[in-house]
Structure 1
Amino acid sequence: MAITMTDAAASRVSDFLQKRGGGIGLRLGIKTSGCSGLAYVLEFVDELADDDQVFEIQGVRVVVDAKSMIYLDGTELDFVKEGLNEGFKFNNPNATDECGCGESFHV
C-alpha cells in the first residue's frame, strides 16, 4: 500500500507547513460527501492516531488513516496550475467515477 506525491505537490505542501510554523505533516483522507459519494480531505496533522499510516515523500510526511487507505491506496497527489487556477489533483486508481466539478468520486 502506498501514497505518492509529485515534486510540485511536495514543494507546495512543504511551503504550507513552513508558513504554518509546524506540524507533523499533511493528512490525506476521505469523507462521505458530494455528488459521487466520497470527497477528498486535506488537512494539517499535529498528532497521530493509532491507525494512521505515515508516508515520507521527499521530506514531507503524508498521513492516512486506515479507513481512508482502503479508498486511497495507490493515489498520487499532484499540484497543478491551469491558467489562473491552481490546486491539488488526486490521481486515484481506485476511483471509478468522478462528479463533473471534480470535488467528489466513487469507487
Structure 2
Amino acid sequence: MFAIPGASPVTITPAAERQIARLMSGKNALGLRIGLKKGGCAGMEYTMELAETREANEEVVEQGDARVMISPMAQMFLFGTEIDYETGLLESGFRFRNPNVTDACGCGESVRFEPLEGSRAEGN
C-alpha cells in the first residue's frame, strides 16, 4: 500500500529473525503481524500478534524463516524501522528502532509521531 519499490519497509536483525521464526514454528503461524494503536502516555503503542492468515494490503517482509506482516495503517509510520530482539538479565523482548518517532514515554512502551501534513492535528 505504501511500499517503496525495491526497498524493504523494515529491517530485521538476526536475533529478531531467530525469535520470530521460533515463535512462528511454535504456533504454526504464517507470520508476526505488527501494527500501531492509540494508547500509552506518548500516544501510540506497537502491537504484535502471531497471524494465521494474511490480510488485504499488508506489506510482507521475509527473512530466512521469519515473516513479518505490517498492517496497512502502520506502514507509513514504520518505514526505516529496525526490529531487534534483546535478551537481558531482567527482561527480554522485541525492540523497535524507528527513525520516525519524535517522542517516547520513559518506559519505552509508547511513542509519538509528527502529525501528517493536512491532518486534523495540524488544524486543517
CA distance in structure 1 between the partners assigned to 2:30 and 2:23 by the alignment:
12
Q: Please, what is the CA RMSD of the aligned residues?
A: 1.1
Q: Which has the higher contact order (CA 8 A, sep 6+)?
A: 1
Q: Select the residue among 13, 21, 35 that pairs with 1:14.
A: 21
State the secondary structure of the residue aligned to 2:56.
Answer: coil
Paired position in structure 2 for 1:23: 29
CA positional deviation for 1:81: 1.6
CA distance in structure 2 between the partners assigned to 1:17 and 1:3 by the alignment:
18
Q: Percent identity?
A: 36
CA positional deviation for 1:29: 0.6
CA positional deviation for 1:96: 0.8
Paired position in structure 2 for 1:39: 45
CA distance in structure 2 between the partners assigned to 1:78 and 1:7 by the alignment:
8
Paired position in structure 2 for 1:83: 89
CA distance in structure 1 between the partners assigned to 2:109 and 2:62 by the alignment:
26
> Contact (CA 8 Å) 2:82, 2:96: kept in 1 or not?
yes
Kindly indicate whether residue 77 of structure 2 is the aligned counterpart of residue 71 of structure 1. yes
Paired position in structure 1 for 2:66: 60
Paired position in structure 1 for 2:99: 93
State the secondary structure of the residue aligned to 2:101.
Answer: coil
User: Which of 1 and 2 has greater Rg?
Assistant: 2
CA distance in structure 2 between the partners assigned to 1:25 and 1:96 by the alignment:
28
Q: What 5-or-longer segments of structure 2 have no aligned partner?
A: 114-124
Q: What 5-or-longer segments of structure 1 have no aligned partner?
A: none
CA distance in structure 1 between the partners assigned to 2:56 and 2:21 by the alignment:
24
The two structures have a TM-score, normalised by structure 1, of 0.93
The two structures have a TM-score, normalised by structure 2, of 0.81
CA distance in structure 2 between the partners assigned to 1:41 and 1:104 by the alignment:
10
Amino acid at match of 2:16: A
Moved over 6 A (4+): none
